[in-house]
Amino acid sequence: MLLRDQPEKMFQIVTMLLLEMQLCVVSALFTVEVPQQLYVAEYGNNVTMECRFPVNGSLNPGLLSVVWEQKRQGHLESRDVYALHNGKAHLSSQHRDYMGRAALLHSELKSGRAILQITSVKITDAGSYLCLIEYQGADYKYITLEVKASYKTINTEKRKWNEDKFAFVCQSEGFPLAEVFWQNEKNLNLSVSVNTTYTLTADGLYNVSSILTTNQNMNENYSCVFWNKERNENTSAYIYSLALMSTQYGRQKPLILFIVATCVIVLILPSALIILQKRKSFKNRCAKKEESYLK
Ligand SMILES: *[C@@H]1O[C@H](CO)[C@@H](O)[C@H](O)[C@H]1NC(C)=O
Ligand SMILES: *[C@@H]1O[C@H](CO)[C@@H](O)[C@H](O)[C@H]1NC(C)=O
Ligand SMILES: *[C@@H]1O[C@H](CO)[C@@H](O)[C@H](O)[C@H]1NC(C)=O
Ligand SMILES: *[C@@H]1O[C@H](CO)[C@@H](O)[C@H](O)[C@H]1NC(C)=O
Ligand SMILES: *[C@@H]1O[C@H](CO)[C@@H](O)[C@H](O)[C@H]1NC(C)=O
Ligand SMILES: *[C@@H]1O[C@H](CO)[C@@H](O)[C@H](O)[C@H]1NC(C)=O
Ligand SMILES: *[C@@H]1O[C@H](CO)[C@@H](O)[C@H](O)[C@H]1NC(C)=O
């Protein structure tokens, strides 16, 4: 595997050197521009990052080379994301993490846009991206990609801890690491009796579990809040001590309103119809009575 990869790496290094030599000569004529320097992508979504280069008239694909490389924070080696050499995709050296996920939007090249698309973004995709373009001259720029994952779904559970204690559990996955704090109805800070732990999933997400143990009044409702500090984002879930149900805080109110509205309609509509019906028959009867009186 390593031996097979070696010639590719050599080839890359040579190309880079050649490009750098050319840079000194023609850099003044050919410049790569980035319309956006920082991209923030949500885990699992797609992201497109763009570098622009000058195309005079119609594009000659045979003269175009585009290289996208990624460098992660704390890693020395950069990873090949996508390479186009003289108009042809050159994917044998592509890092396996990007296989089938990274592509250059070829239709945009003719307008001087080298757009890299990465699908189902992973946590490990975060880092600094180099886009190096050669087209009768060469230049490169760096773009930063940040990846975030919201603690979207909070799983809740209530279970017996031991003889006289109950445990409330909140568990969710996201990135970066969230702080968890608990509140009861009176908004008291309950973090003292809480044990929050986390593991890393294979996808690089934090799997955070928080357990609150209590022997207090079982009629108390609790909520856990996942505070994603870097995103300045809070997600919370309620645990109702009587009825075991978990609801997302933000979506709860509209849902309840919807249910109430539906109930109102379901209850009022038939009674309104019945009243209308009764009125009609009453009127009919009156009319009939009038008729009979007239007779
Ligand atoms: C990401 O891109 C792929 C392929 O272009 C597409 O099938 C998918 O629906 C996109 N996903 C999102 C979340 O936009
Ligand atoms: C663009 O191409 C035309 C001829 O096709 C040439 O005259 C002109 O100088 C070129 N401009 C640049 C900026 O390269
Ligand atoms: C309240 O919660 C914070 C963390 O959110 C904790 O540092 C602090 O000690 C708690 N205070 C009390 C009185 O429990
Ligand atoms: C918190 O939970 C972990 C794992 O369940 C356990 O190893 C640890 O001892 C607990 N810490 C406290 C203070 O209860
Ligand atoms: C997260 O951790 C919990 C236990 O704390 C486990 O049941 C669950 O399967 C884990 N989820 C993932 C995606 O690793
Ligand atoms: C807990 O919440 C439910 C639903 O909002 C409510 O009916 C119940 O009265 C609450 N319990 C306490 C002790 O506040
Ligand atoms: C999230 O909760 C923390 C702690 O209560 C608070 O300091 C922060 O302002 C909250 N952020 C948002 C966006 O609500």
For residue 101, name the pLDDT band (cuts at 50, 70, 90): very high
Give residues (CB < 6 A) around ligand 3.
181, 189, 191-192
Please classify residue 94 by burial: count the beta carbons closer than 10 Å to its beta carbon, then call 0-12 exposed, 13-18 middle and 19+ buried.
Answer: buried
Atom of ligand 7 nearest to the CA of 234: 1
Q: Which helix (H) or strand (E) holds 199?
A: strand 194-200
pLDDT at res. 262 = 56
Mean pLDDT within 87-107: 95
d(CA 129, CA 49): 9
Nearest C-alpha neighbor of 227 from the set 288, 177, 285 = 177
For residue 10, name the pLDDT band (cuts at 50, 70, 90): very low
| pLDDT exceeds cutoff 90 at 72 | yes
| pLDDT exceeds cutoff 60 at 17 | no
| pLDDT exceeds cutoff 50 at 171 | yes
Mean pLDDT within 28-54: 94
For residue 159, name the pLDDT band (cuts at 50, 70, 90): confident
Mean pLDDT within 178-188: 81
Distance 225 CA to ligand 7 centre (A): 9
pLDDT at res. 250 = 39
pLDDT at res. 277 = 73
For residue 275, name the pLDDT band (cuts at 50, 70, 90): low
193 CB less than 6 Å from ligand 4? no
Identity of the residue numbered 16: M
pLDDT at res. 294 = 47
pLDDT at res. 251 = 39
171 CB less than 6 Å from ligand 5? yes
Ligand in closest contact with the CA of 57: 2
pLDDT at res. 165 = 78
Distance 2 CA to ligand 2 centre (A): 45
pLDDT at res. 161 = 79
Which of the pair, 277 or 21, is modelled with greater confidence?
277
pLDDT at res. 286 = 46
Mean pLDDT within 279-293: 55
For residue 56, name the pLDDT band (cuts at 50, 70, 90): confident
Quick one: what percent of the chain has pLDDT higher than 70? 68
d(CA 32, CA 273): 71
Quick one: what percent of the chain has pLDDT higher than 90? 54
Test site for ligand 6: of 242, 249, 259, most ligand atoms within 8 A of the Cβ:
242
Test site for ligand 7: of 148, 183, 189, 234, most ligand atoms within 8 A of the Cβ:
234
pLDDT at res. 253 = 42
pLDDT at res. 1 = 40
| pLDDT exceeds cutoff 70 at 285 | no
Instruction: Specify the residue with its C-alpha closest to ligand 5, atom 7.
Output: 171
Test site for ligand 5: of 155, 196, 199, 224, most ligand atoms within 8 A of the Cβ:
199
∠ CA(40), CA(103), CA(134), 5° rounding?
95
Task: Check: CB of residue 42 under 8 Å from CB of residue 148.
Answer: yes
Mean pLDDT within 77-94: 95
pLDDT at res. 248 = 37
Ligand in closest contact with the CA of 212: 4
pLDDT at res. 149 = 94
CA atoms within 13 A on the CB side of 115: 15
- Residues 6+ positions from 150 with CB-CB distance below 8 Å: 42, 174, 228, 231, 233, 235
Instruction: Specify the residue with its C-alpha closest to ligand 4, atom 10.
Output: 195
Tens digits of per-residue pLDDT, 216-248?
Answer: 555 678 889 999 988 889 999 988 765 443 333
| Mean pLDDT of all residues belonging to the chain | 80
